[in-house]
Structure 1
Amino acid sequence: MVAVECGEVGMITLGKAAMNNGLSNLVYVVYYNGLGTLILLPNFIIHSCRSNRPPLTLSVLSKLFGLGLLGICLLQVSAYAGINYSSPTLASALGNLIPAFTFLFAIVFRIEKFDIRKSASQAKALGTIVAITGAFVMTFYQGPPLFNTTPDHELNKNLLSSQQSNWILGGLLITITCICSSSWNVFQTATVKEYPDEVTVVFLFCCFGTLQCAIFTLLYERNIDVWILDDRTEWVSIVFAAIFGTAIRNSLITWCLRKKGPVFVSMFKPISVVIAVIMGIMFLGDILHLGSVIGAVIIALGVYTVLYGQSKDSKLTINDDSRLESLSENTPLLQK
């Protein structure tokens, strides 16, 4: 998961650079998912021939179709639209909302236990509220730039005022992305438990999502010129996103979801903030704003409060299980 977060920030940064050069965010999503699906195709064919996979029922296919719609068509389109309006730093910082939203969805679908009388559950609830508060701070308060050495203050003032509305719109789109990502984590976990074949699940939902996104893009982008790639950065970003984002990342996340569950996967999001800030400043010329720092600190506090609650809850569960095992070993006659 650490490798996934590092590569994801690199993919977002390259995508932002390509969109700065004029690449449509919709075309970018279609191209890299299409190429990534082609990369996954040989492995899917070999796997289908060699393994006795479970039969693909209509119920499983409909769930994979829904995963493609949620995880590619809705999630990635809104994500890169939000990044296009704001920055990878804001996207990574608001990505810390994913653990909070995943925790809420896990409670709704009864994957996580929640009892308000227990201190662990209280910590989870408090951390969720704090994290969401930090996201609102980052979205609606950009603040003055930090480490800015540009001498023309009036130009910076006009530039900030013209970008403020785009920054808010980008923040709202990325927040929608976080909600989609959290629900996708829970939905993907349930699907993989029902159909425990990661290779088939990843290939089919990528294939469905690419087709859905391509149809939407053809209806939305009427200008044929947007499909022409005429810059080296665009090619590099698409190839990297196809190899890492579609082929490697989706496979790793699906495997981790089956092994450890959605909340574990989402808890690695805070790592991406520091990486995104460094890469954004180095490669994109992003300016670090005070609102981003304050919001990121608040979000981090909220996330680690949730982590504390989860670790405490896990210890209680282990202690309860060991106590039950000791009772069953010491009192066999009572059980009979």
Structure 2
Amino acid sequence: MWSPSVTEVMVMLEFLDVGLNTVTKAAMSGGMSHFVLVVYSNILAIFFLVPCSFIFYSRQRSRPQLTCSIVYRIFILSLVSCCGQMFHYIGIEYSSPTLASAMIDLTPGFTFILAIISRMENLDLRVQSSQAKSIGTLVLMTGALIVTLYKGLPITVAPSTNKLLKEIMLSSQSNWVLGGFFLALHSVILASYYIVQTWIIRDYPAELMVTLICCIFVSILSAIVSLVAEKDANAWRLKPNINLMAIGYSAAFALSLRSVLHTWALKKKGPVYVSMFKPLGMVIAIVSGVAFLGDTIYLGSLVGAATIALGFYAVIWGQAQEKLMVDDNEICSFIKSPLKKFSPAK
């Protein structure tokens, strides 16, 4: 039976993430409050996660013990998540999904720095694997900047097929700089989120339970903030339109499926590996724009996409080399132990 790898899962999540940015932008362009979106999305996600957790853990004979220390860590994760969700949606509201996909490319750099500070990643520039990961991270961010800032000559020209969606994707707001500022803060917070989540999952390897408890805490925290910040009582009324679709998409994907799979990937590969997939979102946004919106492909997009692919490969190669080194050390230790045990006494 086919079992998806971490890489395949992360690429799939980036495709879905681009769709999330577009749907939420459409909802907020129609007047939906980002405060309401965060509260309702987290509450709905709880209803998704509770039955999934019950079914999954009921089949297991034992699960990790939930201690006060773990709950405290999850509460810290919830504070980070709440701020991240708020800043992300505020940034999209003031700018566009395209800028959101571009600014998220800062996440790998911030994650790499925080992972080194927290000693989750080893940096030894004398070793090829560390050199590859460091250079790959810089190349990834360079490719993201090329895609964002350099347009170049047009390669293909295609007629627009959906003007409404194109306006949503490329809409310009008067507070574009403010939106970019909040999106940059979201990148820093997302990097911190990966670090804290990895800190938790290494001692409490229960992805569904961590996600569920985090959603409960975020629902409470965001409700407190939103009840103070959102003055319009009508904003809390929902209708069967794009607003409801945005809440459902965010709850089912961003807060349930993506959170669980990110936690699983962090346990398997660590925070730096997971964050490396974020620049792919910009490439996916460009391809989606060409395929569904009839956008033009520019030289800068191709050069940037190729640069991102090169940097991504360098980081993956560095990760693979580190894993080989760890495996070799374990094999050597296993071989040497019996030899020491049965060596004749002098």
- For Structure 1 versus Structure 2, the TM-score category normalised by the shorter chain is 0.7 to 0.9
Choose which of 42, 46, 55 in structure 2 pairs with 1:33.
Answer: 42
Q: Does the 8 Å CA contact 1:23/1:234 hold for their aligned counterparts? A: yes
Kindly state the Cα deviation for residue 70 of structure 1 after the two structures are TM-superposed: 0.7
Deviations 1:285-319 (A, max 9, x none): 88878877666555554444333333333334444
Name the SS for the 1:124 alignment partner.
helix
Structure 2 distance, partners of 1:100, 1:315, is 24
Report the equivalent of 1:258: 267
Letter in 1 for 2:71: L
Change (3 A) 1:291 1:257: same
Kindly state the Cα deviation for residue 205 of structure 1 after the two structures are TM-superposed: 0.6
Deviations 1:174-215 (A, max 9, x none): 222222122211211221222233232111111101211121
* 1:126 pairs with 2:128: no
Report the equivalent of 1:69: 79
**Count of residues paired in the alignment:** 324
Report the equivalent of 2:126: 117
Structure 1 distance, partners of 2:153, 2:239, is 33
Change (3 A) 1:294 1:212: farther
Choose which of 57, 63, 69 in structure 1 pairs with 2:67.
Answer: 57
Change (3 A) 1:47 1:301: closer
Deviations 1:235-277 (A, max 9, x none): 1121122122222222222222223322332333344333323
Name the SS for the 1:116 alignment partner.
coil
Structure 1 distance, partners of 2:117, 2:309, is 24
Structure 1 distance, partners of 2:272, 2:36, is 31
Kindly state the Cα deviation for residue 66 of structure 1 after the two structures are TM-superposed: 1.0
- Where in structure 2 are the equivalents of 1:1-336 lying within 5 Å? 1=9, 2-44=11-53, 53-71=63-81, 73-135=82-144, 141=149, 163=172, 166-230=175-239, 232-280=241-289, 298-327=307-336
Change (3 A) 1:286 1:61: farther
| Higher mean C-alpha deviation, range 315-324 or range 115-124 | 315-324
Kindly state the Cα deviation for residue 133 of structure 1 after the two structures are TM-superposed: 4.5
Deviations 1:39-69 (A, max 9, x none): 2233445667776545433322221111111
Letter in 2 for 1:94: M
Structure 2 distance, partners of 1:127, 1:88, is 25
Letter in 2 for 1:62: Y
Q: Does the 8 Å CA contact 1:202/1:250 hold for their aligned counterparts? A: yes
Question: Which sections of structure 1, spanning at least 5 residues, go unmatched?
Answer: 151-159
Name the SS for the 2:202 alignment partner.
helix
Change (3 A) 1:313 1:260: closer
Structure 2 distance, partners of 1:239, 1:128, is 34
Kindly state the Cα deviation for residue 148 of structure 1 after the two structures are TM-superposed: 8.8
Letter in 2 for 1:57: T
Change (3 A) 1:271 1:129: closer
Identity %: 40
Structure 2 distance, partners of 1:142, 1:79, is 24
Letter in 1 for 2:190: S
Kindly state the Cα deviation for residue 36 of structure 1 after the two structures are TM-superposed: 0.9
Q: TM-score, normalised by structure 1?
A: 0.79
| Higher mean C-alpha deviation, range 206-215 or range 276-285 | 276-285
Kindly state the Cα deviation for residue 171 of structure 1 after the two structures are TM-superposed: 3.0
Name the SS for the 2:228 alignment partner.
helix
Structure 1 distance, partners of 2:227, 2:299, is 40
Name the SS for the 1:56 alignment partner.
coil
Kindly state the Cα deviation for residue 112 of structure 1 after the two structures are TM-superposed: 1.7
Deviations 1:10-56 (A, max 9, x none): 22221122122221222212211111112223344566777654543
Name the SS for the 1:115 alignment partner.
coil
Q: Does the 8 Å CA contact 1:99/1:182 hold for their aligned counterparts? A: yes
Return the structure number with greater helix share: 1
| Higher mean C-alpha deviation, range 179-188 or range 90-99 | 90-99
| Higher mean C-alpha deviation, range 10-19 or range 301-310 | 301-310
